């Protein structure tokens, strides 16, 4: 089993729903990881803003994030640019993903490549 978990929820919405989505994405990554399956975690769209939040020790999902941060493939470069998360993404040390060279952007993750490589894509 190979799973690609994509975080799209926006922490700036300030809703419990957004926190619930990122929490469940991290919990799913944890589940796959501890079951011995291949898992990769990506932050895309407004979800790129989570990197700046989850790295804070006081964030309620920080401990879970720390448990799965080795599964993070990276942050969508183009989305981080659009949603103002580029600086936090760079500071985090995670890769800025540019596989899908969408015109007018600096690039995004390629879901086509992930599915071609046998990943099931789950979005949160």
Mean pLDDT of the chain: 96
- Name residues whose C-beta falls within 8 Å of residue 42's C-beta, 6 or more positions apart in sequence: 4, 5, 6, 7, 72, 73, 74, 75, 76, 97, 109
Q: What percent of the chain stands above pLDDT 70?
A: 100
* pLDDT tens, residue by residue, 44-66: 999 999 999 999 999 999 999 99
Superfamily, domain 2-123: DsrEFH-like (3.40.1260.10)
- For residues 12-33, average pLDDT: 95
Sheet order of strands, 2-7 included: 96-97, 72-76, 38-43, 2-7, 120-123
Domain coordinates in residue numbering, the chain: 2-123
Q: What percent of the chain stands above pLDDT 90?
A: 97
pLDDT value, residue 14? 84
């Amino acid at each position: 089993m190979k799973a690609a978990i994509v975080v799209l929820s926006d922490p700036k919405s300030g809703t419990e729903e957004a926190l619930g989505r990122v929490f469940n994405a991290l919990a799913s990554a944890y589940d796959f990881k501890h079951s011995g399956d291949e898992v990769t975690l990506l932050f895309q769209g407004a979800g790129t803003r989570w990197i700046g939040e989850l790295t804070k020790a006081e964030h309620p999902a920080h401990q879970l994030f720390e448990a799965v941060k080795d599964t993070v493939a990276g942050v969508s470069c183009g989305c981080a640019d659009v949603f103002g998360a580029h600086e936090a993404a760079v500071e985090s040390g995670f890769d800025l993903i540019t596989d899908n060279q969408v015109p007018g952007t600096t690039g995004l993750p390629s879901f086509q490549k992930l599915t071609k490589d046998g990943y099931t894509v789950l979005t949160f």
